[in-house]
Structure 1
Amino acid sequence: MIHRPSRLHFAETHKVTDVACGYGFSAFAVDSKEHQLFGTGINTDSQIGYHAVRRGHPLGLLLAPVPISRFPPVHSSKGGQKSDRVAGLAAGRAHLLVLMASGCVYSFGSNHYGQCGHPSSAAKEPHSLYLPHCISKAPDGSKFLSVECGQDHSLFLSDQGEVWACGWGADGQMGQGDTQSSWKLKKAVGDLQGKRIIKISSSADTILALSEDGEVVGWGNNEYGQLITHNPTPQLSTPTQLKFPSKVGRVKDVAAGGSFCLLTNDSGEVFVWGYGLLGLGPSADHAKEPVQVPPTLFGAGVFQEQPRVTKVAAGLSYSVAVLANGDMYSWGHNSLGCLGLGHTKDQSFPMKVAVGAEVVKVSCGVDHLLALCKPFV
């Protein structure tokens, strides 16, 4: 176990542009003409590509980053071919989504619930599990701009600001008003209609979508009240706009954990709700509506006059906040040291992580965390 931030030797020889944490595996997008994608960790479902010692016997565990399948060139409007590049990553329990600059998405790994966007053919063609599947565009012809993975479902944001989903749907993750699973991409409906979505967040079975107007729509698992519904239903299968008190203000970023959610607004304040170690102290483990995390816990009056949180992220049972100056704070369950605080004790309020660099992006896995950084100027 690694209890504190440790720079990966892999990043010293490769220019990493994006990262994604799955359940026991990691993926890295690299700015390179030869190999653009690397992965390491658990590979039992070929979520890091095939990597066979001999045909039909893929490696189940990779101890260091290795190249994942190359991607074919894309056809240009002039009739020729040009190389594509990795533009974004997302990882679930045992599957990986790779967004290319062209807008197409490649899916790897487990497809038991259709989360890779195609019918499961493992019974007839076992080797189909080892091949990346290409989703070239949304069913309506629109281009994909970003991707997100829950445990066993996949989410796609189109250039029309619409959300498409596939995979496990027992908690309503498809956003169709039912609890059916689907390998076919379906456009989430409900209160998403008429809104232009700019971000989707899901680490388990709860989903939050942020609109360009600062509104938040949620659906999926609601067992702990993380979707703030007056009707206490354990599943919310129709995307519903969350009603926040006026003190929350305009929302700038959101994150959905396993049993809780958090957000930051345009003033850089952080609000949390749901169930778990919310960052409000050891005795505050449940909030029915958003409660502000005191700014002093992010260094107000100590490190700076008024800290501004610009990004939030969540794993199943822990949270992360990134300040405008690149500092990172973490809190939550920490039995495997994923908070990077140098120990394995649970953390009931935000604590600054000694990263030693400016944090650009954070990806939270179930038991580990990756922070993409650049040196402080």
Structure 2
Amino acid sequence: MSSNGRKRAAPASGRSAKARKPRKPVSEDEDSNDSSLSDQLPPEPPRTPSPMVDEPMVKLPEELLRSFYKTPGRLMIAGMVSWDLVAKRENNPTKRSHPNLFTFHKFTDRRYRLIVSGCSAGHSILISDDGKAYTFGRNNCGQLGFGDTITRNEPQLVPGLMDHNIIHAAVGRNHSLFVTDTGAVYACGDNKSGQCGLGSTAPQVLKPTRVRYNGAPIVKVGCGAEFSMILDCNGALHSFGLPEYGQLGHNTDGKYFVTSTKLSYHFETVPKHVALFFEKSKEGHVSPVRDVDIVDFSCGNNHTVAIDSKKRAFSWGFGGFGRLGHAEQKDESVPRLIKYFDSQARGVRSVHCGATYSLAVNENGEQVAIDSKKRAFSWGFGGFGRLGHAEQKDESVPRLIKYFDSQARGVRSVHCGATYSLAVNENGEQAHVHTNKHTCTQTSTRAHKQAHVHTNKHTCAQTSTRAHKQAHVHTNKHTCT
């Protein structure tokens, strides 16, 4: 659906000048996992989506697929594991179904090659060595994909994806995306803003359903709180869901007035190509940036940062707290070049978004959370034991996690979630440490060409062995048809 040419409804009467201004949601920049906007809006009238072609049967190039097949490892967890309370403002200790874990514990005996979570989410996706998808955590909108809304305390196999080889995944506040080895994308969970990309705003999608997209195969997906991004193998970005702050990159925030006092949004319910990129000079002159092939991106709750094949960085969406990097707090509804990195010496290698900030690793340096001896460090807000130091004390400087301080327990990589942490030890290639307000980071060896992390109010990072050529393949070097 096109979002151009929208007009606001005229005021119903002269009294409209005294009408209260619609209140902006606040949960995007606070410690809340509650849906702030789409629950309050009237549903859009039903639309007839275009017919879908059959699911692609041809697999992605083998070289590309191998980059997703990481050496599996065992899952470990720390922090809050009462999933119905994770990342919510109301956090009554008496309602906890399980005690907080102040040190890392082995979660299951199964081995996983990929683990995905996010700080606005209370659920996680695990991909086993044979490409099967397991999910666990909060399931209030069906985001786990089991056809119901029952919380799962342990990882369980997603029935609707048993016949697919899953190579990548992403989670939003209450929705999930899965990518198969043919480049198809499946979605489930909250869809009030169209963030599942099915051509409608049906409130919930309880089982994984193929996203209504007919373009080039998809190699990466990302989720904001209530929007989604997908990247095809030719370097083109497509977005759908809530456009409130311009985070979809379509030169609109989608706002319109239902009445003189009621605000609503034109949701993008199917993937739409992000076609325009621009730069702005110090004098305010605007000019388009051409030949942009995206190779990596990361989504915050309401903003996105992406880098192209020329190592240029672009950002758009909610500009509060300066998270877009443009020396101002203005929202951007079209991807705008971050001028700081616009030189060969400052080329961007990877980008990472939190809820209220962004992080970029340039060609001259690395952010480190796991050192050369595979020791893990954590710092920041220590509530619920998420830092893994056997206490809830905040840490203002990096502190060694003693649990992993041995050769037998060396850490390959970490990832940060809402109020809990996950990690895979030396026996595995992919791991995650999930936290809320503490900072983690991502590093890579020289042979590791691309990596990325999705975060909320912290920075996450991942390492790889020399044999691991690419953590997440988002490059235009693989041209698909």
TM-score by length of 1: 0.68
Equivalent position of 2:303 in the other structure: 260
Q: Retained in 2: the 8 A contact 1:199–1:209?
A: yes
- 2:118 pairs with 1:96: no
Equivalent position of 1:109 in the other structure: 137
1:143/1:176 CA distance change after superposition, 3 Å: same
CA distance in 2, matches of 1:150, 1:312: 18
Q: Retained in 2: the 8 A contact 1:138–1:158?
A: no
CA shift, 1:364, in A, is 4.2
Matches of residues 119-138 of structure 1 in structure 2 within 5 Å? Answer: 119-120=147-148, 122=150, 129-135=152-158, 138=161
Paired amino acid for 1:43: V
* One of 443, 459, 469 as aligned partner of 1:369: 459
Question: What is the total number of aligned residue pairs between the two structures?
Answer: 298
1:163/1:62 CA distance change after superposition, 3 Å: same
Matches of residues 32-47 of structure 1 in structure 2 within 5 Å? Answer: 36-45=74-83
CA shift, 1:143, in A, is 1.5
* SS in structure 2 of the partner of residue 114 of structure 1: coil
Paired amino acid for 1:111: N
1:22-62 per-residue CA deviation (whole Å, 9 max, x = no partner) reads x89xxxxx978xx70011111112899xxxxxxx9852411
Paired amino acid for 2:227: T
CA shift, 1:231, in A, is 5.8
CA distance in 1, matches of 2:154, 2:341: 50
Matches of residues 191-340 of structure 1 in structure 2 within 5 Å? Answer: 192-229=213-250, 232-233=253-254, 234=265, 235-245=267-277, 247=289, 249-276=292-319, 277-295=322-340, 306-324=345-363, 327-328=366-367
1:231/1:323 CA distance change after superposition, 3 Å: closer
CA shift, 1:106, in A, is 1.0
CA shift, 1:306, in A, is 1.9
Q: Retained in 2: the 8 A contact 1:325–1:358?
A: no
CA shift, 1:355, in A, is 7.1
1:131/1:213 CA distance change after superposition, 3 Å: same
Q: Retained in 1: the 8 A contact 2:354–2:454?
A: yes
* SS in structure 2 of the partner of residue 182 of structure 1: strand
1:62/1:341 CA distance change after superposition, 3 Å: closer
1:158/1:357 CA distance change after superposition, 3 Å: closer
Q: Retained in 1: the 8 A contact 2:353–2:456?
A: no
CA shift, 1:342, in A, is 6.4
Q: Retained in 1: the 8 A contact 2:196–2:228?
A: no
Q: Retained in 1: the 8 A contact 2:189–2:196?
A: yes
Paired amino acid for 2:109: R
Paired amino acid for 1:36: R
- 2:111 pairs with 1:65: no
Q: Retained in 2: the 8 A contact 1:341–1:354?
A: no
More moved, 255-264 vs 149-158 = 255-264
CA distance in 1, matches of 2:304, 2:192: 20
Q: Retained in 2: the 8 A contact 1:169–1:179?
A: yes
> Could you say which structure has the larger radius of gyration?
2
CA distance in 1, matches of 2:459, 2:308: 24
Matched-pair identity in %? 21
CA shift, 1:146, in A, is 1.0
* SS in structure 2 of the partner of residue 306 of structure 1: helix
1:131/1:203 CA distance change after superposition, 3 Å: same
1:374/1:154 CA distance change after superposition, 3 Å: closer
More moved, 225-234 vs 250-259 = 225-234
Paired amino acid for 1:37: L
Equivalent position of 2:209 in the other structure: 186
1:279/1:223 CA distance change after superposition, 3 Å: closer
* One of 125, 138, 159 as aligned partner of 2:181: 159
Equivalent position of 2:260 in the other structure: none
1:286/1:187 CA distance change after superposition, 3 Å: same
Q: Retained in 2: the 8 A contact 1:46–1:129?
A: no
CA shift, 1:362, in A, is 5.1
Q: Retained in 2: the 8 A contact 1:47–1:109?
A: no
Paired amino acid for 1:251: I
TM-align CA RMSD: 3.7
TM-score by length of 2: 0.55
What stretches of structure 1 of length at least 5 have no aligned partner? Answer: 1-22, 25-29, 49-55, 72-84, 123-127, 330-334, 344-352
Paired amino acid for 1:106: Y
CA shift, 1:325, in A, is 5.3
1:290/1:215 CA distance change after superposition, 3 Å: same
Q: Retained in 1: the 8 A contact 2:117–2:171?
A: yes
* SS in structure 2 of the partner of residue 367 of structure 1: coil
What stretches of structure 2 of length at least 5 have no aligned partner? Answer: 1-30, 33-69, 87-94, 255-264, 278-287, 369-379, 388-394, 399-438, 467-481
Paired amino acid for 1:69: T
CA shift, 1:261, in A, is 1.4
CA distance in 2, matches of 1:253, 1:182: 28
CA shift, 1:310, in A, is 2.5
Paired amino acid for 2:333: K
